[in-house]
Structure 1
């Protein structure tokens, strides 16, 4: 428990600092984080499920995240990103080449199920890179960098996890999805929603970009889809018979274990913010 608490303390400091140190640190940090999550995913798959193209997949993932970041920077500085010679356009044009390389590599590998390798290579991109790309884009949803929204997202996500654990461990009776996560309960889900919504109300007094109703709506989305993302990651781990996605965070498991709430919640919240801001 002591190791878990110490790891959690430094984890929170690093995550908060990544939001407060400016847009370039923010972008580089989440590019690296997404890449490490993808690498962790591939290592799990290689334990017997398939042999994904790790290097090519990482290159594709980095290019995809970089293209996404270039697009939001283009919007921030009012740059015509599709003009010939612009960074975003160049990166976007490299994506089909990287995708083709995944297929071509399998031609030269003697494996009994090459399309399993191809499928898991691209699944890793979907599983690890795209959620972080949406999370990164949240900081630029208003047209310029604003750390309030991604930081608030993390705070509400942590509050949901804490609330679900505390309420579920004390009052949990009705199993939410026992087949994939035996400890999760409907009571815990409701507790997580309420505590996350409470955090949203507090945040609305300090971050006035959105109304309190919108912050609470985001909290509910984070709680519901964050829990579903957690269940999806649990389903993934059970399908390959592992307990933790890794051991990089002592007492907490791997990076995918800590960011499973982002898997579905980040794209959904970004979509909500996009329509609210427009």
Structure 2
């Protein structure tokens, strides 16, 4: 528990620092996190006996995250033109498979693309949260993380204290309905406090985001658990002592970030 707490504290400081140090550091840090998650995802797939196209996957990951990130930072016509390069990098996944000897080439291709969808695209949406109003504003991604952590912590504490009814025992035996409800309630309470300091949205909208994060984030956690159980592994990696892998720490973000960004887009442009 001590190792887990120390690791979590320092990782928390680094993540918040990357937001406060400006758009360039924010882009670079979350690009690294994206690649680490993709690395763990591909590693788990390889353990299951599928040969993904790692090199093509990483090239596409960098291209997708950086190009959309630059468009968020400064919407220049040249970046829109560079998007057409993705047709070549994405096609390379198929071409690379031509030179391999594999009985299941399209399985390899499919899981290579699944890695991009499962890890890269959600972080692209998370990065875009900082530009939801057109200019860099760390309030949205920081508030997202605070509500996500509040939900996780609240679910753990209330589940441990009051948990009786299993939420989805087949995929996550420790999760309970009491913990789930407690996590969402605590995240909603934190969202109200956030609304007092971040006036970009009113309290109802911040609370709505907290509920989205609680519900969709928990679903993402369950889906990642289902994925790991399907290939008989406990943790996605060992990079974070006491926490497992990076993918384990961001499973909630991977599913919640695109939904929250969509919600913000319609709210801010209504």
TM-score calculated relative to the size of structure 1: 0.95
Structure 1 residue 51 and structure 2 residue 42: aligned?
no
1:225 maps to what in 2? Answer: 216
1:87 maps to what in 2? Answer: 79
SS of residue matched to 1:152 = helix
Structure 2, unaligned runs of 5 or more: none
SS of residue matched to 2:227 = helix
CA RMSD of aligned residues (A): 0.9
SS of residue matched to 1:106 = helix
Native 8 Å contact 1:42 1:52 kept in 2: yes
1:67 maps to what in 2? Answer: 67
Mapped partners of 1:251, 1:68: distance in 2: 33
Structure 1 residue 170 and structure 2 residue 161: aligned?
yes
Mapped partners of 1:151, 1:49: distance in 2: 38
Mapped partners of 2:202, 2:81: distance in 1: 36
Structure 1 residue 143 and structure 2 residue 130: aligned?
no
TM-score calculated relative to the size of structure 2: 0.98
Which one of the candidate residues 191, 199, 205 is aligned to 1:214? Answer: 205
Once the two structures are superposed, the pairs formed by residues 259-278 of structure 1 within 5 Å of their partners are 259-278=250-269
Q: Runs in 1 of length 4+ with deviation above 2 angstroms?
A: none
1:127-166 superposed Cα distances (whole Å, 9 cap, x missing partner): 1101100000000000000000100000000000000001
SS of residue matched to 1:112 = coil
Mapped partners of 2:254, 2:136: distance in 1: 22
Structure 1 residue 237 and structure 2 residue 194: aligned?
no
Structure 1 residue 114 and structure 2 residue 105: aligned?
yes
1:11 maps to what in 2? Answer: 11
Following TM superposition, by how much is the alpha carbon of 1:87 offset from its aligned partner in structure 2, in angstroms?
3.0
Number of residue equivalences: 269
SS of residue matched to 1:261 = helix
Which one of the candidate residues 244, 249, 258 is aligned to 1:253? Answer: 244
1:38 maps to what in 2? Answer: 38
Mapped partners of 1:236, 1:9: distance in 2: 27
2:118 maps to what in 1? Answer: 127
Native 8 Å contact 1:127 1:263 kept in 2: yes
Mapped partners of 1:149, 1:16: distance in 2: 12
1:99 maps to what in 2? Answer: 90
Native 8 Å contact 2:151 2:184 kept in 1: yes
